[in-house]
Structure formats: C-alpha cells, structure tokens
Structure 1
Amino acid sequence: MLFLDWVGVNDPWTGVNVDLVALQSIVCQVFRIPTSQCGPPIAIGLEHHTSYARVYSFQLPFRAVVARLVAPVKPLFKTEGEVAAMNLVRSHTSLPVPTVFAYCSESSNPVGAEWLIMEHMPGVELREAWDQLQYPQKQTLARNLIDVYDQLFRLKADGCGGIYHSTRQMDNLSSARMSPRWQPLSLESLRLLRSHCNHSINNGYELGPLQDVSLVDYRLVVPSPSQTMPTFTSEEYFKLVAFNGNPPTRSDFDLPSREKCVELFHSIHRLYPSSTLFGPSEPSNFYFSHGDLHEGNILIDPQSGAITGIIDWEAAGFRPLWSEVIGVGWFKEDKQRFIIGSDGPGEFEDDTAPEDIQLRAFFRHHLHKKNPDLFSCFVGGTELRAVLHAAVDDPSPIGETDIFLYRYHDLGYWKEGRRGAFPWDMEAWQHRRLDLDKAEMERVAEHGDYVTLWTEKWGE
C-alpha cells in the first residue's frame, strides 16, 4: 500500500441512503404528534458543514427540534459516546447542553443512518457574531468561556478515554425503558460496548475508546475501538494519538516522524518532575473536555454575548488538562505565542487597538482568578500542545510534522543551556528523513508526485 495513512474515504456518506421521510415519521413518533403537525426537514449549517454529520431542523407545534444524522465513522461508539457526554454534562454542570429526546446508535433503522433528536438550542454561532460584538459583550463571553472550562474541570476520572453509559445498567429493563435510546441495542452492539467499555468511573458511566478528532478523521485509516482504548498516563495518551491507534496505523514512511514527536513530548514532560499539571508526577486524574470546542460549536446571544448553547459533543472525553485549555476563537492564543506547524508565532501583531489588549488581559486575569490551574495550563501548556498538534497532523505531503520538528530545533525552542542536549541528533535525523523521502519517491515515481496524487484523490 503506497499511502497507508490516507486509506480512508473521500466522503463517509458515499453509499449511505438517508430516508428523511422516515426521520420525520420518527420525530412524530417521539413527540406523539401527527405528521400534519410536523414541518418538513430543513437542512441547517450547510455553509460550515462537515462530513461527520448532517443536521436538520423540524418545526413542531410547541417547539423546534434538531435531528443530527451521524456519518458511519466509528459506528456505534461515536453516537453512544456523544449521548453519554451530553447527559454527563447536563446532570453535573449548569452548562447549556442540548437535551437528547431520542437517539439510535445503529444504522439498521428506517432512516439508514445513526441519528439523534435533540433540543434546538437558541443563539447564533460565535464565529458569525464575533465581529458584531461590542467590548462589554466580549467581556461577558470571556466570563462564560472561563465558566465552561471551570465547570468541566470539576469532572474527573482516573483514566483518559471516551465516556459511555454503563452497559450493566442496560440489563435493567426499567432503566432501558427510561433511556432516550429509540430501540434496544442488538446483541452484537451490546457485546461490543461491554467488551470495550468496562472501566467504571462513577454515576453509571464507564470509560471506553477515545474519540479524539484526529482518531475519527475519515480520510485516514480510522483505528478500531480496540486500538483506541483508555490510557492512564499523559505519555500513553500522547503516544496513542500520535501513532493513530495502538497498534499504530501510521505508515513506515510516516511513523518515524511521529516517533520523534513522542520523544520530544517525553523530554519536555520530564522537565517538570514535580509538576502536577505538566510532568510525570501528575496525579492519575484526567479532566472532562469537549474535545472540539471551536467557534462553530458555541452558540451565543448576539445581544448580550452570553453563551446559549454548546453543541457537537462527539469528541468529548477525559484528557490531560494541559491539552484542552486553549481558548476559543479570538481567545485562542497558541498561534500567537508559539510555532504551530510551519507558522511562526503571530506575536499578537493584530492586537493594535487598546480594546484588544484590555480584553486579553481581562480574559487572563479572570481565568487565573477563577481557577489558577486552568490559567497555568492555558499559558504553560502551549509548548506541549504545539508538539501534540504536530504529532496528530496529517501525513505528508499535506501535514507539516517534519517542518515543525526542524523549525522547533533551528529556532532554538529547546534551550540547551537550561535543558541540556537536544533529545536527538538532528543532523542524523535529517539524513534519515532524506533517505525515507528518496525511497518513497522511488516507490511512487510511476504514479506521479504526492501533490498530484492527493489532488486526484481528494480534490484541491
């Protein structure tokens, strides 16, 4: 196989025939109304549409509801994990998370795909409203965002993984009847969940396979649930996502770069021997995170700036705290303070107005005041997150993992006077990369160059 890393699909919906009439009928069934009282499915969010899900709104006499159709990427586990995540956050925080009225985590239903029927959350996407917000509204948003991080921080587990409802409770018929699951799980699905989600945490939940965004990238090899089982140290977590599963799914050409990312992470991690946040002595506590918290997954009231909804929890789970406290949108500072991929630090050059400087200071001050550990991870975790970003990046020629490693070394981010010798011989590593590049180019010479193959397969 020439491009093992890229053996995925161009569109996960290829070959999937969705029956929207059946979906409308199920909405009517769930809310016990006749079809005449349920509006037709209205597609929403298509301008920012990802291939993971298709979203439709239905207008009912007393409310609007959202139906989210889930692409067949990591079937069963992604949907089960998303529902469990929303239920956990709704029951243990005051964050605005949609109520799930019904869901089906198996595609063998009349719709032809996995689906969730949820509460329609008010507000508009943060990315659409940001430019219209005034300074006081941005302050409100900053406080709300800090509160999101702080409330999720309170949810902890002794392992790093996705979250699922306890399969033992499924044996209880009364519990099954109270569940929003549309139909009982098949014996095969129940067996799969029980075999992969068996590390109990509390309150009827269990840890199971990780759902990191990089691990469900449908363009790549999607590692099986058995390759993404929970881990119990930050180093194990980093290695799992860098190698795209355990056993790895990275190609022989790409794996050496990921190994160097792991080596660099280990070296940085061990610089903090007594740190409970960044070092090997960290307690066996992992913190709950959304996993894909960006401007499109946060809804706000454009009049007040308040957060009104947090959606798309399919990547949620327990992770090291340093990996997730990065801010959202304008508040995300990593690219301003460190190299990310091939991009050098922005050095806050766009923050020219006094309001910009004041807002950043406001966010940092209130983050530290609310939770010093969150502040420490926001500022101090930048280097680790940059290495993590490189580790999970796309394979060559699209990804920039090698470029990052070279620039990290050449720009002197590893302070040898303070940290000691660089973790490996970079000159020897460069020679090895040249040999790998030469060998790979010889293998693909008859098919054309990397970029041509990429554009032919995936489009520009």
Structure 2
Amino acid sequence: MSFLDYVGVDDPWIGVNVDLVALQSIVCQVFRIPTSQCGPPIAIALERHASYARVYSFQLPLRTVVARLVAPVKPLFKTEGEVAAMNFVRSHTSLPVPTVFAYCSESSNPVGTEWLIMEYMSGVELGDAWDQLQYPQKQTFARDLIDVYDQLFRLKADGCGGIYHSTRQMDNLSFARRSPRWQPLSLESLCLLKSHCNHSINNGYELGPLQDISMIDYHLVVPSPSQTMPTFTSEEFFKLVAFNGNPPTRSDFDLPNREKCVELFQSIHRLYPSSTLFGPSEPSNFHFSHGDLHDGNILIDPQSGAITGIIDWETAAFRPLWAQVLGVGWFKEDDQRFIIGSNGPGEFKDDTAPEDIQLRAFFRHHLQKKNPDLFSCFVGGAELRAVLHAAADDPRPVGETDIFLNRYHKLGYWKEGRRGAFPWDMEAWQHRRMDLDAVR
C-alpha cells in the first residue's frame, strides 16, 4: 500500500535561510540609491502569507516598494509564471496589477530564496474592510469585481496552463535589456523552461506547467512541472487536478475517490452536449483566471469600495470558464447554493436584512448585463465547481471527498428522474471504501 499523499512537511520554509540585509542591498541596487535612503524591511501580514511567500515593504525617498520572497515550492516555474501573469494582465487590461521592478527566479542569489520587488499597491484587504462598508460602497465593489471577471474573460488561449514569457525571446538581447530579471538565467534553468514552455499563445507568451493552488499544496506530493503540462480539454484539466499531476501522485488508498470524481464530472459534462460553456462541445479556447482570487488578494479603497489592487498571481493560468467564475468573499455563493465538501448548502440563511437580498440581486443583474456567459457560469457552474473542489481535496482523514460523494448521492443532486440512473453503484463503491479503510 502506497502512502505518498503526505510528505511530512508542515512548513516549506524549513531549512531556508533568508538574508534580509542582502535583500535591502538589492533594493538599493535596483533603484540606484544609497543604503542610507532605504528604510529597513517591514513585514506585511507575515502570518497570512507565510506559507508560500513572505512579504516586506521598503520605504524609499520617492516611493514604497514591496518585496515578495517565494518559498521553494515549484522552484523557477512558480516565480516565472507569476511575473509573466502580472505583465500579461497589465499589458492587456486596465486592472490594477503591481508593476514588477526586478525579480530572481533562482534561489542561488544573496537573499537565499527566489524574490520579486514590486510596486506597492494602496488600499486594504477586502476581508478586513467589508463589514465597515456601507451599501453604496459595496455596490461599487460589486461593479469593480464584475469588471475584473469581464476583462480576464477576454484573455483567451487554446489550452489550459500557466503563462510564461516566450523562451525564444529570452535569447534576444533587446528583450533581455527590457526584462526585469535581476540576472540572466542559468543554462540549466533556461533549458528547463524551454523544454516545458513551448506552446505559443501570442505577443511573446507561451503556455507551460499549471500552478493550480491544489497542486502546489506542500502537504501533498508537489508534482513536477513535467506532470502538470498544459491540457487542451476541460476533462483533461479536471483529471490533472484530481490526480494531482499526470502521471498521478495520489496513493492507492486515495485514487478510488479521485476516479469517482472524474466519473461524476464526465457524466455531468455529457449532460450538456451542445453547451459551449459546460459540455464536451466547448470550443478549444480557455479564459485567463487569477486562480486564487479571495478577499485577501483584493485590495480596496475603504472610503469608496473601489478595487485598488489585485495581488498574488502565482497560480494564474488559462482555465475553463466554469471553473473560476465563483465570486469573491461575500459574493462567493457556491457554498450557499450547493454542497461543498461536508458542508452546505447554506441556502442564504445568513441573508436576513433586505440589503443583503438587494446586494445579491444587484451583483447578479449587473453580471448578466455585462457578460451573459460569465453570469451563466456563475450560476450554472456551481455543481461542476463542487465536484472539482472534491477532486482536489486532501485525502482522508483531512479531506472530505468521499463524504461529498456520499452526500451528493444521498441528497439527490443527480436528479435521477431527469438524468437517469446514477453513474455507478453507490453501495458497491461504499463497500470498496470500507475494505480499503480496513487494509489501511
């Protein structure tokens, strides 16, 4: 019996020695100022970012800059993908994304880990400000959030994968001069990128390994870049997430749960034979998404409610549209309308004030008016997203995948009167799960 799911690492920073003095020196070098004109590093919400990044601010004479130190999870690719994503979105939309002044995607530098030096974005985290906002401010945020989804929707590719700067351009001297890369890549790193990022999109960008949040979870086996290469259908994207890479890294104990999630997804997918959003007839194009858009990664002006910054683009990628249009913070409705894991649906029982109902109606109305496809995925994609969430979950005893599958069947979400027989014999599958539990 294989037990590969847990790698026994509680903190990816264990063994990493960060030199903040060296980081301060590099900030001074990038902005060509003496050390005396650069303030000391000040930790920003370190307890919130400590898993995958450590964030510090530096006060300079004319500006404040932010340095993001990157944990050694998916070395090279995660940082290269994050920088390319921010550059791509900044050059193709009007969304407030930080400018990257300099970065290093190799840990063999004086700081001791990969890092980015970026523009400081004003505002406060949405999650910290929401309860203090008045109704008109919440309406402003709702409009801005719809605009974020709409602008990202218009960025398309013919596959699901992370985004990277073209490796062919890296050999170009003029490109190298314009790049914010702090030092040239080593030959080994350049060869790695070239071997994994070779599906051209447009305007100097390529598809490469996917950095989905579920596949950089350091509590599981983190699949290598070669196991997370771009896929070209929703079904293959779903399998990549469910199996934690291709070839799979799931254990023999956990694979049966993932296989049933895939089978359920395939069965739901086939219910929409002519749908370009939810079914197998979807066009071969996918939409750009942040990948981890939650209320800690959106900054707002607490006076107006307007979005002032969108940060942490390390899991940005092209994905199926239904997978990512799920709202943010208070507007994230999936757990109200559907079962997620072992919870829900909440059925909006917390919405007791008339203002709550009005705000949800406001968001839905303006989303449908702005982009009907986004509205359809927001409302109609909840079932597929719930199955994807179950497929990506940790194994038992932490994860709840088998609990979700049992509740999905027991509560009648398959609707056998309209859809026909359930995709598999649930009783036989439950016995198989009990046999595996006994062996373990």
TM-score by structure 2 length?
Answer: 0.99
Query: Is the contact between residue 263 and residue 423 of structure 1 (CA under 8 Å) also seen in structure 2?
Result: yes
Separation in 2, partners of 1:103, 1:7: 29
1:394 aligns with 2:394: yes
Which runs of structure 2 are paired with 1:10-21 in the superposition (5 Å)? 10-21=10-21
- The one-letter code of the counterpart of 1:142 is A
| Larger mean Cα displacement after TM superposition, 139-148 or 166-175 | 166-175
Number of the residue aligned with 1:409: 409
Deviation, 1:46, is 2.0
- The one-letter code of the counterpart of 1:233 is T
1:422 aligns with 2:431: no
Query: Is the contact between residue 71 and residue 114 of structure 2 (CA under 8 Å) also seen in structure 1?
Result: yes
Which runs of structure 2 are paired with 1:43-442 in the superposition (5 Å)? 43-440=43-440
Deviation, 1:49, is 2.9
| Counterpart secondary structure, 1:58 | strand
Separation in 2, partners of 1:311, 1:323: 20
| Counterpart secondary structure, 2:377 | helix
Separation in 2, partners of 1:129, 1:278: 35
Query: Is the contact between residue 157 and residue 287 of structure 2 (CA under 8 Å) also seen in structure 1?
Result: yes
Question: 1:12-47: per-residue Cα shift (whole Å, max 9, x none)?
Answer: 111110000000000000000000000000001124
Deviation, 1:417, is 1.1
Separation in 1, partners of 2:50, 2:419: 42
Separation in 2, partners of 1:404, 1:91: 41
Query: Is the contact between residue 5 and residue 220 of structure 2 (CA under 8 Å) also seen in structure 1?
Result: yes
Query: Is the contact between residue 2 and residue 253 of structure 2 (CA under 8 Å) also seen in structure 1?
Result: no
Alpha-carbon distance change, 248 to 2 in structure 1, aligned in 2, over 3 angstroms: closer
| Counterpart secondary structure, 1:130 | helix
Deviation, 1:292, is 0.1
- The one-letter code of the counterpart of 2:235 is E
Question: 1:62-87: per-residue Cα shift (whole Å, max 9, x none)?
Answer: 00000000000000000000000000
- The one-letter code of the counterpart of 1:28 is C
| Counterpart secondary structure, 2:65 | strand
- Show structure 2 runs of 5+ residues with no match: none
Separation in 2, partners of 1:143, 1:370: 10
Separation in 2, partners of 1:233, 1:77: 22
Question: 1:358-413: per-residue Cα shift (whole Å, max 9, x none)?
Answer: 00000000000000000000000000000000000011100000000000000000
Deviation, 1:284, is 0.4
Separation in 2, partners of 1:33, 1:243: 49
Question: 1:293-344: per-residue Cα shift (whole Å, max 9, x none)?
Answer: 0000000000000000000000000000000000000000000000000012
Separation in 2, partners of 1:20, 1:48: 19
Q: How many residue pairs get matched?
A: 440
Query: Is the contact between residue 8 and residue 221 of structure 1 (CA under 8 Å) also seen in structure 2?
Result: no
| Counterpart secondary structure, 2:30 | helix
| Counterpart secondary structure, 1:5 | coil
Deviation, 1:8, is 5.0
Separation in 1, partners of 2:331, 2:154: 22
Separation in 1, partners of 2:435, 2:180: 55
Pairwise CA RMSD: 0.7
- The one-letter code of the counterpart of 2:288 is F
Separation in 2, partners of 1:338, 1:95: 31
Separation in 2, partners of 1:9, 1:212: 19
Question: 1:346-368: per-residue Cα shift (whole Å, max 9, x none)?
Answer: 00000000000000000000000
Separation in 2, partners of 1:223, 1:47: 26
Question: 1:125-144: per-residue Cα shift (whole Å, max 9, x none)?
Answer: 00000000000000000000
Deviation, 1:177, is 1.2
Deviation, 1:48, is 2.0
| Counterpart secondary structure, 1:26 | helix
Query: Is the contact between residue 5 and residue 395 of structure 2 (CA under 8 Å) also seen in structure 1?
Result: yes
Separation in 1, partners of 2:256, 2:48: 34
Separation in 2, partners of 1:394, 1:213: 12
| Counterpart secondary structure, 2:5 | helix
| Counterpart secondary structure, 2:13 | coil
1:9 aligns with 2:39: no
Query: Is the contact between residue 123 and residue 308 of structure 2 (CA under 8 Å) also seen in structure 1?
Result: yes
Question: 1:253-298: per-residue Cα shift (whole Å, max 9, x none)?
Answer: 0001000000000000000000000000000010000000000000
Query: Is the contact between residue 322 and residue 377 of structure 1 (CA under 8 Å) also seen in structure 2?
Result: yes
Query: Is the contact between residue 235 and residue 266 of structure 1 (CA under 8 Å) also seen in structure 2?
Result: yes
- Show structure 1 runs of 5+ residues with no match: 441-460
- The one-letter code of the counterpart of 1:421 is A
| Counterpart secondary structure, 1:80 | helix
Query: Is the contact between residue 104 and residue 116 of structure 1 (CA under 8 Å) also seen in structure 2?
Result: yes
Query: Is the contact between residue 2 and residue 252 of structure 2 (CA under 8 Å) also seen in structure 1?
Result: no
- The one-letter code of the counterpart of 1:159 is G
- The one-letter code of the counterpart of 2:423 is P
Deviation, 1:2, is 5.6
| Counterpart secondary structure, 2:341 | coil
Number of the residue aligned with 1:444: none
